[in-house]
Amino acid sequence: MPRPRVPAPSPEPPRVGSTLQALRQGQSLSLDELSRMAGVSKSMLSQIERNQANPTVAVVWRLANALGVAVGDLLGDGRPAQPAIVTVPAHATPSLKSPDGKCELRILGPIELAGQFEWYELTVQPGGSLESEPHEPGSREHLSVLSGTLEVSAGAERSRLKPGETARYAVDVTHAIHNPGKSVATALLIVLHPA
């Protein structure tokens, strides 16, 4: 009976650094948080992520358990299996504020889609305006008002929106979102860039 064929060993150990970093960032964990969860020093984690140290089997096992993945996901081909659900805590959602502080955009979309497809939670205080220069030709925005009243202008066109209404408009012209009301307005804003 022929013996099963065993693959030739790799000339160097697996580099788990980029896989570990992708898994950690995918779960919005800092080095400190993962260090506490896995019982591995922060400096060791940093060295592993920069491929300056190869972890022992015990360290890989602790990291896999802390991240909720299989050991093979850390030792695999560098493409980590994505967890079925990735939860981003509220404190880890980045935001941008207008210079006057009356408008805030919480960045809900993942960074890898920036430049193609972006979505935000927009909060506009009474009297606040989010004014923008033209984006690249063919760009569009979709603004869905959740609460309050917002007024959208794109070029010479203008439209007032109430809760539940959505405006879709070209943004390759000067455009703005303004809160003409007396209460805070919230909306979801989606920006579509041309392919």
Do 177 and 143 touch, CB atoms closer than 8 A? yes
Whole-angstrom distance between the N-terminal and C-terminal Cα of the chain? 57
Q: Is residue 186 part of a domain?
A: yes
Digitized pLDDT (tens) for each residue of the chain, 195 residues in all:
555 555 555 555 566 888 888 888 888 888 888 889 889 888 888 888 888 887 887 888 888 888 888 887 777 654 545 667 778 788 888 889 988 899 999 989 887 777 788 999 999 999 999 999 999 999 999 999 999 999 999 999 999 999 999 999 999 999 999 999 999 999 999 999 887
187 in the same domain as 109: yes
What pLDDT shows up at residue 2? 53
**Residue with tokens 């935000």, as numbered in its chain:** 120
Q: Give the β-pairing of 129-132 and 175-178.
A: antiparallel
97 in the same domain as 71: no
As given in the structure block, the two tokens for residue 44 are 């060791």
112 in the same domain as 181: yes
- Number of C-beta neighbours around residue 70 at 10 A: 13
70 in the same domain as 107: no
What CATH number is attached to the domain comprising 24? 1.10.260.40
What CATH number is attached to the domain comprising 97? 2.60.120.10
Q: Is residue 156 part of a domain?
A: yes
Residues with Cβ < 8 Å from 190, sequence gap 6 or more? 117, 118, 119, 120, 141, 142, 143
145 in the same domain as 60: no
Q: Is residue 7 part of a domain?
A: no
Q: Is residue 54 part of a domain?
A: yes
Per the structure, the complete domain to which residue 49 belongs is given by 17-75
Q: Is residue 43 part of a domain?
A: yes
188 in the same domain as 114: yes
121 in the same domain as 61: no
Comparing CA positions, the residue from 51, 44, 74, 77 lying closest to residue 61 is 74
176 in the same domain as 104: yes
100 in the same domain as 71: no
